[in-house]
Amino acid sequence: MGKFIYDGNIKVDFEDRLLAHLQAVIMAKVRRGESFPFTWKDDISTGGGRTTVYIHPHVSLVFKFHGSRTPQLSTAWLHALTHNANSGRGLYVVTEPDEFVRRESTRGEEMIFSEVPNDQAPRSPRD
């Protein structure tokens, strides 16, 4: 489990592979000077619910990985997370899409990504 730390005081655990994808999406937007909300579901052990932080170029962000190896990034997952981050709702965690299954729309409909189910939500440690 890696850790995302926002502004030095909000800490949440994410699997290293997910955290690497979140880092890539978040840092790409921050480098471009873009601000956006980032929402995740809190672990039931910390009371459940959800947390939203406002990511902007002037806030302290730390991505602390448990493992020493950099995970291979999935283009499809990066696309799904970036799509969410660019929407009005902002970035939220979605399950990794299957890169080998293409869902083509005959009408050019917008892609829809759903949130990760509660049993797969990240865990926030109690302070």
Q: Average per-residue pLDDT in the chain?
A: 84
What pLDDT score was predicted for residue 25?
98
Give me 124's structure tokens: 């926030």
37 - beta bridge partners? Answer: 54
Q: What pLDDT, in 10s, does the model give residues 59-112?
A: 999 999 998 888 899 999 999 999 999 999 999 999 998 864 444 433 444 455
What pLDDT score was predicted for residue 20?
97
Q: Which residue has the tokens 């005959």?
A: 106
What pLDDT score was predicted for residue 106?
37
Average pLDDT value for residue range 11-20: 96
What pLDDT score was predicted for residue 45?
85
Backbone angles phi, psi at 7, to 5 degrees: 55, 30
Backbone angles phi, psi at 27, to 5 degrees: -70, -35
E-strand stretches of 2-98:
2-6, 10-14, 36-41, 50-55, 61-64, 91-92
Q: How far apart are the first and last CA of the chain?
A: 17
Q: What pLDDT, in 10s, does the model give residues 23-33?
A: 999 999 999 99
Specify the pTM.
Answer: 0.78
CB contact set of 97 (below 8 Å; sequence gap of 6+): 74, 76, 77, 79, 80, 113
Average pLDDT value for residue range 37-54: 92
Which among 73, 84, 1 has a CA at the least distance from the CA of 39?
A: 84
